[in-house]
Structure 1
Amino acid sequence: MLRAGGAGLPGGIGPEGYVIRSTTVDGRPATVIAGQTDRAVLYGAFHLLRLVQTRQPVTGLDIASAPKVKVRVLNHWDNLDRNVERGYAGDSLWDWHKLPGWQDPRYVDYARANASLGVNGTVLNNVNAKADSLTAPYIAKAAALADTFRPYGIRVYLSARFSAPIEIGALKTSDPLDPAVRAFWKAKADEIYRAIPDFGGFLVKANSEGQPGPQDYGRTHADGANMLAEAVGPHGGIVMWRAFVYSAEQPEDRVKQAANEFVPLDGTFAPNVIVQVKNGPLDFQPREPFHPLFGATPKTPLMLEVQLTKEYLGFATHLAYLGPMWEEVLAADTWRRGRGSTVARVVEGRVFPQALTGMAGVANIGTDRNWSGSHFDQANWYAFGRMAWDPDARARDIAEDWVRMTFSNDPAFVAPAVGMMMGSREAVVNYMTPLGLTHLMATGHHYGPGPWVDNLERADWTPVYYHRAAADGIGFDRTKTGSDAVGQYAPEAAKALLADERHLLWFRHLPWDHRVRSGRTLWDELVVRYDLGVSQVGEMQRTWASLAPYVDPERHAEQAAFLAIQRQEAQWWRDASVAYFRTFARRPLPAGHAEPPESLEHYRSLSFPYAPGHD
């Protein structure tokens, strides 16, 4: 039975927390789910269903759970023409043309799925926003979606284009200190809240990748964010201001710019502003060190932004369970208030007390029948929701729950399937960006290897900017002898990062004959890691083939085909990368490792102008 109300609830459980207890009612065994709100009870009901689905005991229950993070949102990079930037699962779920008159039944399915994970918000449109999203017709469309999502505890948010006062407001400026601009945003917020009383607020990408922002007028990020916060604040709204900023005018290492710009602004943001920070300082790469902003702004709340859609990890066809990636960054110790000041604790508002906390995930959801482009990519949506509720949750436990609910509870299936998932992201790192290399993908679409690209408009868009391969070695020197990006971390954290071989070439430029911990030279180790990644995909293929008796033929065949694609493309990554870097290393391959079957010119000649996910 379900009971809502505050009586008998543990202290501090809040409006979204719940308890599940086995008890007796009128002399009969019963299970009570209780919380202060209907939304809390709904979350508790889904928790109980998860126990049933995963065949856990449902007697003797005494469970209390509350989210450790307040704002748990998906960011949809969906455009008004239904194209999804970095989307690999079909068109946008939102049929803007038919809204508000027609509501696709899948909107309810979407809301229910998110509620089952504890996700409580969704940003409907791309961070590269169009001002049209803030016009009356599109506000009405967003209101229709909000009506559908509301019973499932999900608030809608909109990405706001900073130049909207010019584009749709007939003003000549978007200067955040201009009274007419402030009046525009106040009126726009009032208009939205009349249509959507529980509107969550705005997400903003400003002064990044050509997007307009307050710096266009000599103002700061805080000036821009606070103007919008002033508009939505009376309605209870918030502003999520992205820290993903970089510009060609900055002569320094690109990965330093966000900390350089935001740390000096600490304490100047309004209370209803939260700065949204990517997991790493570059751009959702297969592996990056944690972002130096975490813990560096004690007076400014920060929310973690991760990417569910695998822009840099093989799109929908490569199996890459991202739970271990997110666990890695959440468990990283910032040392900002001594040992144990992990990113998770920063995000939870516990390192420096924060009332506003959040976690955002760039969605991988589209119109494909399986929602995410592949069955295993659903696991990343699932893991995000679970980790946003509890950043201390373990990726393996989450993977096991997902496997049991999605495929089978048979132990003979669960153990190998979870093992395959847990090693999958590391396989991608090995065949794409081993030993701390980064941003080696081809231009624009980011499909396939392109470590040779050196002819783009901006240096920091090119792979050669990041790997810096030359006759004397490879890697980006970010120590004190180089850009000193490592100096943006607390000293203890910097020491740990420099000692971590997984980030070796992120922080150091080293000779090809440098000896790594295995005893091999750096060149030999690179080749070994590339080949290891390929072999790991082969092992995943063998594991999946052995699991055929436990999976329906249709899903098994599709995933087998995707793994075959991944194996072929992992080999391509390996061969192209080895052929290219060898032109600098000028050394033989280690014994037992095959030569690339084609010339470097062949790999460089490959072109994929219609690969999905273009920006």
Structure 2
Amino acid sequence: MLSLTASAQEDYKLWLQYRKLQDSELIATYKSKINGIVTFGNSETIQVASKELQLGLSGMLGTTIGVHQNIATENTLIIGSKSSLKEDILKNLKSELEQINDEGYIIKNISFNNKNHILITGKTDVGVLYGVFNFLRLIQTNKAIEKLRIVDSPKINLRILNHWDNLNRTVERGYAGFSLWNWQKLPDFIDQRYIDYARANASIGINGTVLNNVNANALILTPHYLEKVEALANVFRPYGIKVYLTARFSAPIEIGGLKTADPYDAQVINWWKEKAKEIYKRIPDFGGFLVKANSEGQPGPQNYGRNHVDGANMLADALAPFSGIVMWRAFVYSEHDADDRAKQAYNEFVPYDGKFRDNVIVQVKNGAIDFQPREPFHPMFGAMPKTPLMMEFQITQEYLGFSTHLVYLPKLYQEVLESDTYRLGKGSSVAKIIDGSLDHHKITGIAGVANIGNDINWTGHPFAQANWYGFGRLAWNPYLDSGEIAEEWLRSTFSNDENFVYPVKEMMLQSREAVVNYMTPLGLHHIMDTGHHYGPGPWVSNLSRPEWNPVYYHKADKNGIGFDRSKTGSNATGQYAPEVAKMFDNVATCPEKDLLWFHHLSWDYKLKNGQTLWNGMALKYQEGVDEVGKMASTWDKMEKHVDKQRFNEVKMLLNIQYKEAQWWRDACLLYFQQFSGKELPKGVEKPTQTLDYFQSLKFPFAPGNN
């Protein structure tokens, strides 16, 4: 990383800080167990793994850990894949190699020539690389390395970042500067940051990256740009990362000179087959295409009277000879469909279950609306057993205060992954759907819309790095605990001091609920201001499409508030398994966190704590503000544990978050108060501005809104 230079900032190093450990006894223990490194194999990936070990160990132990030619001394660290290791070494692995897949790894204390050593191996070189990063993490987090027997494999095949990056380097919903990809200087100028990006992703097991926006520009598929894509693929390959591209469905017209993009047209079919050949000739391990079609104005097969299966399968056939895949997004909603927007993706895709090619995976957002602070899990996850479904999470915080708000998103991801679809009865979690274990799918995937830009700290907010990190860890294993991930990240990124780790971990784990409370408590959703989605806008009602207006989602009136999706309303509850539908449908059993998502209720409706809905909602808004105040107070006490720059960055950002939480509370309560006609309850601070003031605020240049 640029972190190798003395002047580089801590911010840039992410969780790969490799600072010298503070505990001298621990350093002595580690040194006694690691006398040097012996490497088997000479691939680029093994070379990368060896260099990473030297860099990490030398930094953390405060001394150079050298590479030896042979295993001459006790306590050598041995790395190499199965095909490179000597039989005498492999004898130490009884059943471990049978327990891992091609990307898995083994870290084990072994005996070789009557001497004790540590072995890091796998079936492939990239498995060894993942093992090396895991071993370094053990030392970063002060774990023992005396009795190691770690056998681990990723549970999901495709662990991918979706970059919503445009060719002009703007980033749609990006809040950390411009795109990393400097298309103007590629392919001849390879920025060190491309290598550091690959390192960071490999360290958390991410194995794919979609380089361009889902709202795609067809030019990315021209030879001029494919040459640049090839250069990035060459950088990423040693780190086990494949490149993917978003394919614009109308590319045969826009760059191919054809008169149509109809997936049944022979010329169109042939154009895509030739384009696939052209790409794979340059990039033999090209991953495939991501496609956004017939959504928000993007072209697709429906333009020609065809359907999603027709479009996806045509592209899949073009990629199949090269083992490429199509990730076909299910984020669709139409202004011509008067039904509840939350129902549209399900209605459009579920009838096609089992009709997609084997190399198509349907990419589904975690909820049925659009990356809200909280949504019930998408009903498609329990409804398409014959089709592999790929989770799409958003890492960038489009609806969660951008990179100025501290929101620990793995808490959200875990909530969704643990949700029970009841597809095959109790225990049919969303995680089991996407890892293929419930329906035995061969292709499995999880995507995260990246929050990465060219800011020095990559993500705009130092703590937003944890969301990139946490996404990678949960993509590797969707059953991990978000609290354990937070602790791992804190120890690697800042400090192992428990006086720092435990209070800040608690702050992180509470942060997402705080945001839900001060933005959209009790199941409210999509009441952000228009277009840029920055700040509150529950009053917006003048847009051309009804489902673009926040009033569509909260339906506040003198009788109450909330969207009736029960069987007496839009019947969106009917898209879930009967057990789930019954729970959501009944106001008495619907979780209060989802209440107004599924029910329109009177302002006087009694919540479980005895408060009226109006009072309970107002108190939730206040609670969110108070929680941000506590976060700021916690951080103020951490100054001695953190370098000055990052401490001050987070302090300033928390101050912004506190002000904006107050703005959310005041604007929303003043607006909804018009309908409830009720006073604010005791304990809720009175607004200092009028509703007219809040409605007058305009943000034409809010970031990320292209």
- Of 270, 277, 281 in structure 2, the residue corresponding to residue 190 of structure 1 is 277
Tell whether 2:334 aligns with 1:243.
no
- Of 81, 96, 100 in structure 2, the residue corresponding to residue 4 of structure 1 is 81
Tell me by how many angstroms 1:10 deviates.
3.4
Q: Is the 2:130–2:205 Cα contact (8 Å) retained in structure 1?
A: yes
- The unaligned stretches of length 5 or more in structure 2 are 1-77, 84-89
**1:52-81 deviation digits (Å, cap 9, x = unpaired):** 000011110001000100000000000000
Q: Is the 2:160–2:210 Cα contact (8 Å) retained in structure 1?
A: yes
- Who is 2:597 aligned against? 506
Q: Is the 2:622–2:685 Cα contact (8 Å) retained in structure 1?
A: no
**1:155-203 deviation digits (Å, cap 9, x = unpaired):** 0000000000110111111110111110010000000001100000000
- Scaled by the length of structure 2, the TM-score of the pair is 0.86
- Who is 1:20 aligned against? 107
CA distance, structure 1, for counterparts of residue 582 and residue 617 of structure 2: 23
Letter in 2 for 1:519: G
**1:212-239 deviation digits (Å, cap 9, x = unpaired):** 0001111110100000000011001000
**1:88-118 deviation digits (Å, cap 9, x = unpaired):** 0000000001100111010000001000000
CA distance, structure 2, for counterparts of residue 592 and residue 375 of structure 1: 33
Tell whether 2:549 aligns with 1:462.
yes
Tell whether 2:124 aligns with 1:33.
no
Letter in 2 for 1:580: Y
Tell whether 2:631 aligns with 1:544.
no
Tell whether 2:700 aligns with 1:576.
no
- Of 481, 485, 490 in structure 2, the residue corresponding to residue 398 of structure 1 is 485
Tell me by how many angstroms 1:143 deviates.
0.3
Tell whether 2:620 aligns with 1:529.
yes
> What secondary structure does 1:94 align onto?
coil
Letter in 1 for 2:79: L
**1:593-614 deviation digits (Å, cap 9, x = unpaired):** 2321111101000111111010
Runs of 4+ in 1 over 4 A off after TM superposition: none
Letter in 2 for 1:147: N
- Of 564, 572, 576 in structure 1, the residue corresponding to residue 655 of structure 2 is 564
- Who is 1:150 aligned against? 237
CA distance, structure 2, for counterparts of residue 350 and residue 403 of structure 1: 31
**1:330-371 deviation digits (Å, cap 9, x = unpaired):** 000000001110000000101111000000000000100101
CA distance, structure 2, for counterparts of residue 608 and residue 263 of structure 1: 39
RMSD of aligned residue pairs (Cα, Å): 0.8
Q: Is the 2:382–2:576 Cα contact (8 Å) retained in structure 1?
A: no
- Who is 1:45 aligned against? 132
- Of 479, 482, 485 in structure 1, the residue corresponding to residue 569 of structure 2 is 482
CA distance, structure 2, for counterparts of residue 500 and residue 593 of structure 1: 24
CA distance, structure 2, for counterparts of residue 524 and residue 592 of structure 1: 10
- Who is 2:405 aligned against? 318
CA distance, structure 1, for counterparts of residue 669 and residue 257 of structure 2: 55
CA distance, structure 1, for counterparts of residue 686 and residue 463 of structure 2: 33
Q: Is the 2:103–2:154 Cα contact (8 Å) retained in structure 1?
A: yes
CA distance, structure 2, for counterparts of residue 376 and residue 212 of structure 1: 37
CA distance, structure 2, for counterparts of residue 380 and residue 98 of structure 1: 29
Q: Is the 1:255–1:485 Cα contact (8 Å) retained in structure 2?
A: yes
Letter in 2 for 1:180: Q
> What secondary structure does 2:381 align onto?
coil
Q: Is the 2:327–2:363 Cα contact (8 Å) retained in structure 1?
A: yes
- Of 134, 155, 164 in structure 1, the residue corresponding to residue 251 of structure 2 is 164
> What secondary structure does 1:326 align onto?
helix
Tell whether 2:364 aligns with 1:259.
no
> What secondary structure does 1:562 align onto?
helix
- Who is 2:472 aligned against? 385
Letter in 2 for 1:220: N
> What secondary structure does 2:463 align onto?
coil
**1:473-518 deviation digits (Å, cap 9, x = unpaired):** 0000000110000100001122344521100000000000000111
Tell me by how many angstroms 1:553 deviates.
1.1
Q: Is the 1:165–1:181 Cα contact (8 Å) retained in structure 2?
A: yes
Tell whether 2:699 aligns with 1:608.
yes
Q: Is the 2:372–2:526 Cα contact (8 Å) retained in structure 1?
A: yes
- Who is 1:118 aligned against? 205
CA distance, structure 2, for counterparts of residue 587 and residue 563 of structure 1: 31
- Who is 2:167 aligned against? 80
CA distance, structure 2, for counterparts of residue 162 and residue 592 of structure 1: 54
- Who is 2:264 aligned against? 177
Q: Is the 2:619–2:683 Cα contact (8 Å) retained in structure 1?
A: no
Matches within 5 A, 1:241-390: 241-390=328-477
CA distance, structure 1, for counterparts of residue 344 and residue 115 of structure 2: 63
**Cα gap change, 1:553/1:175 in structure 2, threshold over 3 Å: closer, same or farther?**
same
- Who is 1:416 aligned against? 503
CA distance, structure 1, for counterparts of residue 354 and residue 443 of structure 2: 14
- Who is 1:222 aligned against? 309
CA distance, structure 2, for counterparts of residue 593 and residue 32 of structure 1: 59
- Who is 2:13 aligned against? none
Letter in 2 for 1:505: L
CA distance, structure 2, for counterparts of residue 159 and residue 26 of structure 1: 52
CA distance, structure 2, for counterparts of residue 413 and residue 12 of structure 1: 37
CA distance, structure 2, for counterparts of residue 36 and residue 79 of structure 1: 37
CA distance, structure 1, for counterparts of residue 527 and residue 518 of structure 2: 11
CA distance, structure 2, for counterparts of residue 69 and residue 502 of structure 1: 29
CA distance, structure 2, for counterparts of residue 177 and residue 64 of structure 1: 48
CA distance, structure 1, for counterparts of residue 210 and residue 345 of structure 2: 22
> What secondary structure does 1:604 align onto?
helix
Deviates more, 1:584-593 or 1:269-278: 584-593
CA distance, structure 2, for counterparts of residue 73 and residue 548 of structure 1: 35
Q: Is the 1:295–1:351 Cα contact (8 Å) retained in structure 2?
A: no
- Who is 2:7 aligned against? none
- The unaligned stretches of length 5 or more in structure 1 are none
> What secondary structure does 2:97 align onto?
coil
CA distance, structure 1, for counterparts of residue 146 and residue 277 of structure 2: 49
- Scaled by the length of structure 1, the TM-score of the pair is 0.99
Q: Is the 2:163–2:450 Cα contact (8 Å) retained in structure 1?
A: yes
Letter in 2 for 1:343: V
> What secondary structure does 1:293 align onto?
helix
Q: Which has the larger radius of gyration?
A: 2
Tell me by how many angstroms 1:464 deviates.
0.2
- Who is 1:553 aligned against? 644
> What secondary structure does 1:345 align onto?
helix
**1:244-267 deviation digits (Å, cap 9, x = unpaired):** 001100110001011001100001
> What secondary structure does 1:288 align onto?
coil
Tell me by how many angstroms 1:146 deviates.
0.1
- Who is 1:64 aligned against? 151
Tell me by how many angstroms 1:12 deviates.
4.4
Tell whether 2:494 aligns with 1:407.
yes
**1:10-68 deviation digits (Å, cap 9, x = unpaired):** 32411101111011223332110110110000000000000000001111000100010
> What secondary structure does 2:424 align onto?
coil
- Who is 2:688 aligned against? 597
